[in-house]
Amino acid sequence: MSKNKIQFQSGYSLPQLFKEYGTPEQCDQALFEWKWPEGFSCPQCKSNLFCTLKNRKIYQCNQCHHQTSITSNTIFANTKLPLTTWFLGIYLLTLTKSGISALELKRQLGVSYNTAWSMKQKIMQVMKERDDQKPLNGKIQLHNVYWGGEFYAESGGSGSKNKTSFVAAVSTDEKGHPIAMNMNVVKGFQIKEIKRWAKQHVKAGSTVISDGLNCFKAVTKADCHHIVVVANGAPKSVQKEEFSWVNTMIVNVKNAIKGTYHCVDSKHLPRYLAEFCYRFNRRFDLTSMIPRFVYIALRTPPMPNRLLKLAELYG
């Protein structure tokens, strides 16, 4: 029996991480090159002439004298953590298949729980913002899902007030193999909301396969083809070949979240879903995971803790 090439790829090891990004100088150099691939460019006047201050890691433009740093206006803005700690945190969150809790991250990094929680949320914010820019295409399996409400609902079923609604979608290739997935919280399963979701997360011309839920016909308003496969209830839909991959992903992600985290607040659920989607969508090349992530993190606006705690995200 042949081995799965994706599952058995060499990956990216901790010794490799420490070899390439084990010192502050290596991290500084990496961030400089990823932030300014064509060389330094002043964010104010675009000049490429600069000097560095002696006592601080600040770059000053020779033309307009604007001062900047490799972390300013990025997700790393105002951080007090060494970049080596950030790189290790990014490694643990991007290359750990089932995720890692803030409590475990605290222990691995040797930081406070609040610091670990903040770092984790910021890293997941980058993941979400990036995948929100990459719509699915091709043949797409679509399903409605609910999170929470199993024990505290006033009434059973999907109508429970404390359930969070989200859509799960998986794109497949011509052979039926999964390519990418998208899981985003929505404000309920109404036609208007699914139309909004589809326009952002599905490329026009794609073929979307869903069950008989009426709101899913809204994907046609996003210029997608729609195929309905009536399943007559959730238990039977699991057995349908047309939904095999999306149902597999739903079960895997739910089990991973429940097994890794004690509690996930519904307003933060979009980031946790994005975390699993981000890793799954980039599983084909684990060696490039960190460079690709940090490149995008340097182009993600700062996310202060007050916004991390307040934000309710809909994708």
Is the Cβ–Cβ distance between 93 and 275 less than 8 Å? yes
Question: Tens digits of per-residue pLDDT, 217-263?
Answer: 999 999 999 999 987 655 555 567 889 999 999 999 999 999 888 77
Domain topology for 139-269: Nucleotidyltransferase; domain 5 (3.30.420)
Question: Tens digits of per-residue pLDDT, 279-297?
Answer: 999 999 999 999 999 999 9
Range in 34-43, 53-62, 128-137 with the lowest mean pLDDT = 53-62
Give the β-pairing of 164-172 and 139-147: antiparallel
pTM value? Answer: 0.90
Question: Tens digits of per-residue pLDDT, 11-30?
Answer: 899 999 999 999 999 999 99
Q: What is the pLDDT of residue 158?
A: 52
Question: Tens digits of per-residue pLDDT, 137-192?
Answer: 999 999 999 998 654 444 445 555 678 999 999 999 999 999 999 999 999 999 99
